[in-house]
Amino acid sequence: MAIDFTLSPEQKAVQTLARDFAENVLAPVVRDADREPDPLKAFQLTKPAYVEAYRRGIAFGMLPKEYGGGGLTNIELIIAAEEICAVDPGFACTVLVNGLALLPVWYWGTEDQKRRVMEAATSDPSGEFIAGYAASEPPGTPGGTANFDAPLAHPVGIGVTARRDGDEYVLNGRKYWPCNVGGWDGQGANVNLVVVRTDPDRGGTEGLSAVLVERGTPGVTYSIIDSFGHRLTPNSEIVFTDARIPADNLIEGTHGHGDLLINRNFAWSGPVAGIAAVGVARAAYEAALDWAKTYTAGSPQPMIHFQNVGYVLGDVAARIEACRYFCYKAAHYIDEHDYHGELIGAMNKTYCTETLFDSVYKCMQVVGVNSADRKHMFEKYLREAAIFPIYDGGNFGMQRRRVHGVLASPGFNPRALMDNEFVEFTKEMETIGTVVHRGEEALLR
């Protein structure tokens, strides 16, 4: 029978390895790191755990074995991710972004780029190699990146420009929110994959590309952002001021197709974000269940014996199970279809992150006011859960708009996912809702 939710021995081994790492290596540093007020220092407190994750094959487990990676399938990746996210999703995000930065090199890079970048990432004797992915940009007028594929020229959409000058590209502009890009010391990751505008006169479906910016590149500065959640992963602002990079650092297959890179990247990370929400909700649920079985709230017996408590926790448990299997489905689909899952990845990410945010809060309602006491973990669970719907391609803007574009396309088969049919994502599915059309302009007057 093809459908079987029993983990194989290989999958169980991945789960066991990840759980051991999460509970015995990562967990001891999480509370102190999360409470460190300086965001860079908070991130740096996780460095020993990251080095151990590197040595155990976790940090670059998603890369192919051919280039030194762990060769994990996407199913195996999310099995491992759930265990780590149940302890701290911020740390897991650091690992995830290694994939967002380097998988596009595997998809679209030259053989030289693959060898040069991925083998460097997987053969670092210090175990500290880290890669950043930079797409998001700061708010403003214009500004932000939710409408990165808008069919209008610069400055609409992506604002960082890369002008060709002989054998170099010259970068100017700002990125805001990208993860890992500042590295361990705030001076730059080992390498960053940056989505730029290589043709400012063209719109977002034609003028975007991806380039590699290596640590130490002159004209690049970083400053870390102080976020309320995922505090153990580093978000930064990057400023490019006439920063010059070799023309060979352009990922050739992305030239004019940076829009498709963004959509494919956030499709791949969809079930990873979904399973991260599962992990956090699982931790909150288990803590609330333990509380309900031991705390009486002044009654003669523990709270679990009251119907309302049992019903609420039962509903939360059902949501966790449902979302976990949706993540398995999405990851399996991406494995089956050459790391494409632009539709199901977005659906999975939006549904799971929003469903489980509410579930975390319901766990807090069961515990009551004591869940606000920071000696417990509930306030952290809530902060982490609140980040999921708005990061990694926000549910409003990037994710739902991708689903909308696919559903609106003339040839869309509404049973495609049910039948495991490949849904090709094309440029014609982009730009939906990014411009006001003439008829809409009349209505707005």
pLDDT value, residue 97: 98
Q: What is the pLDDT of residues 326-341, one digit of tens each?
A: 999 999 999 999 999 9
Outline where DSSP puts E strands in 278-368.
none
Taking only Cα atoms into account, the Rg of the chain, rounded to an integer number of angstroms, comes to: 22
Name which of 108, 81, 95, 99 is nearest 43 in CA terms. Answer: 95
* Single pTM value for the model: 0.95
Cα distance between residue 425 and residue 409, in whole Å: 10
Strands 131-134 and 191-197: parallel
Contact 427, 205 (CB under 8 A): yes
Identify any residues that bridge with 427 across adjacent strands, giving them in sequence order.
none
Q: Look over the chain and give the mean of its residue pLDDT values, rounded to a whole number.
A: 95
- Confirm if 272 and 218 have CB atoms less than 8 A apart: no
Where helices occur in 131-219 by DSSP H, the ranges are: none
Distance of alpha carbon 252 from the chain centroid: 24
Residue 404 CB: number of other CB atoms within 10 A? 14
- Residue at token pair 């990057």: 238
pLDDT at 2: 75
Helix (H) or strand (E) holding 284: helix 270-294
For 355, residues 6+ apart whose C-beta sits below 8 A from its C-beta are 277, 319, 322, 323
CB 135 within 8 A of CB 160: no
Type of residue numbered 40? L
Tell me the pLDDT of the chain (445 aa) as tens digits. Answer: 678 889 999 999 999 999 999 999 999 999 999 999 999 999 999 999 999 999 999 999 999 999 999 999 999 999 999 999 999 999 999 999 999 999 999 999 999 999 999 999 999 999 999 999 999 999 986 788 889 999 999 989 999 999 999 999 999 999 999 999 999 999 999 999 999 999 999 999 999 999 999 999 999 999 999 999 999 999 999 999 999 999 999 999 999 999 999 999 999 999 999 999 999 999 999 999 999 999 998 999 999 999 999 999 999 999 999 999 999 999 999 999 999 999 999 999 999 999 999 999 999 999 999 999 999 999 999 999 999 999 999 999 899 999 999 999 999 999 999 999 999 999 999 999 887 654 555 444 5
Domains of the chain: 9-122 (1.10.540.10), 131-256 (2.40.110.10), 269-429 (1.20.140.10)
Amino acid making up residue 107: Y
Q: How far apart are CA 253 and CA 258, in angstroms?
A: 9
